[in-house]
Structure formats: C-alpha cells, structure tokens
C-alpha cells in the first residue's frame, strides 16, 4: 500500500464518526407523535359498535388502536427521557 491512500481503519473511523441530531428533532418528533395520537383518538371516536359485526370493518379501528397506542407510548418515553436529561 502507498502512503497516499488512506488506511482502511482511517476510512472506517471517518465513516462511523458520531453525527449530532438537529436541535429541533425532539420537538418535531413530539409534534408528530402528538398528531398521530390525536388522529387515532378521532378515528376511534367515530367508531360505531353496530358496524363491528362485519369483520371487514375491523381494520381501521384496529390500526387506530395500534398506531395510537404506539405513538402514545413513544410520546411518554420521549417526555420522560427529556425530564431525566
């Protein structure tokens, strides 16, 4: 190998250097999670039990439960982590 070419280790070190996230990342993430949670709640508010007899109608409420619940948990974790830091 010639001295002019960078070593494999130097290339790896440069490629794997830590990158700082944008300053407003936490605020944007919190806003997105809040929006998803609110949309899921609105979807579930419009849910009618009488329409649930047909299994084809189960997809939207089930998706709203899963996505809204996941976003809500992520939002709680994000806020708790912010308090710790």
Sorted by sequence, the CB contacts under 8 Å of residue 56 that are 6+ apart come out as none
pLDDT, tens only, 50-73: 777 888 888 888 999 999 999 999
C-alpha span between 81 and 34 (Å, rounded): 16
C-alpha span between 40 and 15 (Å, rounded): 40
pLDDT at 85 over 80: no
pLDDT, tens only, 13-42: 988 999 888 889 989 999 999 999 999 999
Whole-model pTM: value is 0.68
Cα–Cα distance list, 4 to 1, 7, 10, 17 (Å): 9, 9, 12, 22
Domain range summary for the chain, segments of one domain joined by +? 23-84
C-alpha span between 55 and 68 (Å, rounded): 20
């Amino acid at each position: 190998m010639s001295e002019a070419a960078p070593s494999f280790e130097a290339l790896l070190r440069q490629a794997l250097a830590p990158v700082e996230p944008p300053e407003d990342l936490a605020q944007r993430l919190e806003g997105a999670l809040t929006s998803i949670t609110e949309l899921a709640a609105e979807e579930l508010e419009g849910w009618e039990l009488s329409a649930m007899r047909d299994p084809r109608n189960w997809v939207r409420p089930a998706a709203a439960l899963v996505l809204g619940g996941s976003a809500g948990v992520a939002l709680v974790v994000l806020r708790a982590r912010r308090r710790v830091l």
